[in-house]
Amino acid sequence: MTNAAVIVAAGRGARAGGSVPKQYRLLAGTPVLLRTIRAFADHPAIGPVVVVVNRADDDLFEREIAPALGTRPVRRVHGGAERAQSVRAGLRALAGDDIGVVLIHDAARPLVSAALISRVVERAGTSGAAAPALLVTDTLWRADDGLIGAGVDRTGLWRAQTPQGFDFKTILAAHEVATGGETDDVEVARAAGLTVALVAGATENIKITVPEDFLRAERMLGQTMDIRTGNGFDVHAFEAGSHVTLCGIDIPHERGLRGHSDADVALHAVTDAIYGALGAGDIGVWFPPADPRWKGAASDVFLRHAVGLATKRGFAISNADCTLVCEAPRIGPHAADMRRNLARIMDVDETRLSVKATTSERLGFTGRGEGIAAMATATLLKT
Ligand code: MG
């Protein structure tokens, strides 16, 4: 016997605005629905997850959600016009499994925590049914035509949340005989004579309803997200030579760059940006210029080390941007190759990287053609 989750994602979410249904919109870079599915599919107490989608959203699901699910045991079924029909479809998809507790959750609550899921699973396991709620703390008014009327006694009033958890067979049977007028699954359960235990909800478990809720949810995520930014700057002077090496690409030029290694000023700047984001010093600390091992070294060694260090410390490279400053050689024709090679060295998707160049309008040492400067920014995300 295992526990399961049914995620109801068939609604159109018109109040949240946007051209795609809100559950497919990005929340801090990840679709709302994907966040919600992961919360359940990655929870140790939950086995199969059924996602109930609108038939019209099949393409969206295939494109935005399915590729990121990997081997998670997620099944997709189609919902009906009413929420209750969708829940019933989701429950029926589990009828052949040996399910203990099933959690029913709104896709629009992507910030549901593992702790809340645990609370509901445990309580539903012992009581047969449990749902989270928050005590109403604000004063409540009745209002009409913009005028405040009598206050409402808030004693004993709670704000309902999901996931709501039930003994699977009991809630499936209750849904099969439900009349359809119920607003949520607790009401379906109570109509069938079940008692439902109340467990503590979570303030961050908001339901994304209106456009402002996206900003609110992103702020909440920001508080728990560890984002680091670092910058790097490097300069190498020209000397006699036939080419310069930038982002590991050899570019023919009437001069070369002077340096202990291959003098790849671009890779050095990107490498230092990553070390900077990690608060881990710079290239010189990890690869002392006095060390003969690095004489003439290809600089991808340094960059691979910085990326490896980030990985070891639990960070993924979210993006990096490098700007070269020189009058010559012309970078533009090589920028795409450089970016591709940077992606290969860093094992990061090309779309997260940028290589661009500018002149300094013939001013300063770069303007006089004495060398090349590079600056870079890297953003790292705790995974
Ligand atoms: Mg350097």
pLDDT digits (tens, 9 = 90+) for 160-186: 999 999 999 999 999 998 887 788 899
Predicted local distance difference test score (pLDDT) of residue 179 = 80
If you search the block for the tokens 């990997």, which residue do you land on?
A: 70
Predicted local distance difference test score (pLDDT) of residue 383 = 74
Averaged confidence pLDDT in the chain: 94
Distance 236 CA to ligand 1 centre (A): 6
CA distance 329 to 245: 11
Instruction: Say whether pLDDT at 367 is over 90.
Output: yes
Contacts 24+ apart (CB under 8 A), 53-62: 53/9, 53/10, 53/77, 53/78, 53/79, 54/9, 54/10, 54/11, 54/12, 54/21, 54/78, 54/79, 57/9, 57/10, 57/21, 57/24, 60/20, 60/21, 60/24, 61/24, 61/33
Instruction: Say whether pLDDT at 381 is over 80.
Output: yes
Q: Please write the tens of the pLDDT for every residue from 283-335.
A: 999 999 888 888 888 999 999 999 999 999 989 999 999 999 999 999 999 99
CA distance 253 to 287: 27
Distance 338 CA to ligand 1 centre (A): 17
User: What DSSP state is assigned to residue 234?
Assistant: E
Distance 360 CA to ligand 1 centre (A): 19
Distance 193 CA to ligand 1 centre (A): 74
Q: Please write the tens of the pLDDT for every residue from 29-72.
A: 899 999 999 999 999 999 999 999 999 999 999 999 999 998 89
Predicted local distance difference test score (pLDDT) of residue 196 = 97
- 252 band by pLDDT with thresholds 50, 70 and 90: very high
Distance 265 CA to ligand 1 centre (A): 5
Predicted local distance difference test score (pLDDT) of residue 205 = 97
- 220 band by pLDDT with thresholds 50, 70 and 90: confident
Q: Please write the tens of the pLDDT for every residue from 82-105.
A: 899 999 999 999 999 999 999 999
Distance 192 CA to ligand 1 centre (A): 73
| Token pair of 186 as six digits | 């607790």
Q: How many CB atoms lie within 10 A of CB 238?
A: 20
Predicted local distance difference test score (pLDDT) of residue 135 = 95
Predicted local distance difference test score (pLDDT) of residue 13 = 64
Instruction: Say whether pLDDT at 18 is over 80.
Output: no
CA distance 42 to 37: 8
Distance 148 CA to ligand 1 centre (A): 68
Who surrounds ion ligand 1 at CB < 5 A? 234, 268
Instruction: Say whether pLDDT at 12 is over 80.
Output: no
Instruction: Say whether pLDDT at 115 is over 70.
Output: yes
Predicted local distance difference test score (pLDDT) of residue 11 = 84
